[in-house]
Amino acid sequence: MPDRNAATAARRRSRYCRLGSPQQSTGLGTHMSADTRYAIVGTGNIGSALARLFARAGVEVRIANTRGPHSISELAASLGSAVRAVTLTEALACDVIFMAIPFAAVEEFGNALPDWNGKIVVDTTNAHYAPNADEILKGRLSSEYAAEILSGAQIVKAFNQLPAQTLAAEVPSGQGKRVVFVSSNSGEASSQIAQLTGTLGLSAVELGRVDEGGRLIQVPNALVLRNFTEQPLT
């Protein structure tokens, strides 16, 4: 029944809250504002793949690493005006930050800001093959660990289930849109990143809480390395 389904969905949404505290508003509203600033921190395979997605969609994004803008100038120039190389400080001033760094660097990344409140951080890391990951996590999911390190941020797990070259590749015409799974303990943040995913030309599937559906996209679980595409219903 439509009414029952709507009520169930509303109850599920009401359960989403940021790890360790009640849900807080980002100040961005339910939908992304035209003034929302996006940044990618990390210029390895995943960071570069994300930059290509933004460039292809014509969505402005800043990209940074610890080596400075000069080290990214060639990549940014090859992708066009939508991608701008900036300092790490400039990137961290943005509203939505893609954390495209090795898992081992998460703690150092967390120390880059004294206060993460008001930020949405998209966690693209995979801890499975990182040295000493089990010792660091102590049974936690990697995004639970990230939420502790980046205290105050709304953490969204996404863009981590596919190899970088697959994520960045265009789907041949007529074969649908590539699926990206999105998980967060904040329903608002999940919705905003799902909306952005659609703007980037992909199809978002929201999995709900990190400790529930989000487990499925933690390596080596069921939805990792699944290259799904969504076809329109006919």
Radius of gyration of the chain (CA): 17
pLDDT at residue 51 tops 80:
yes
pLDDT at residue 3 in the model: 42
What proportion of the chain, given as a percentage, has pLDDT over 90? Answer: 76
| Least confident among 24-33, 153-162, 193-202 | 24-33
What is 86-120 written as a DSSP string?
A: --HHHHHTSSEEEE-S-GGGHHHHHTT-S--TT-E
- C-alpha to C-alpha distance for 46 and 167, rounded to whole angstroms: 8
* CA-to-CA dists, residue 134 to 61, 64, 138, 183, 186, angstroms: 33, 29, 6, 22, 26
pLDDT at residue 22 in the model: 32
- C-alpha to C-alpha distance for 89 and 112, rounded to whole angstroms: 8
Q: Which residue has the higher pLDDT, 203 or 26?
A: 203
Considering the entire predicted model, what is its pTM? 0.85
Pinpoint the alpha helices (H) of 38-99. Answer: 45-57, 73-79, 88-92
**Per-residue pLDDT band at 224 (split at 50, 70, 90):** very high
Q: Give the tens place of pLDDT for each residue, 96-106.
A: 999 999 999 99
**Per-residue pLDDT band at 185 (split at 50, 70, 90):** very high
- What are the structure tokens assigned to 130, written together? 């990182």
pLDDT at residue 128 in the model: 87
Q: Which residue has the higher pLDDT, 13 or 93?
A: 93
pLDDT at residue 190 in the model: 98
Residue type at 223? Answer: L
pLDDT at residue 31 in the model: 56
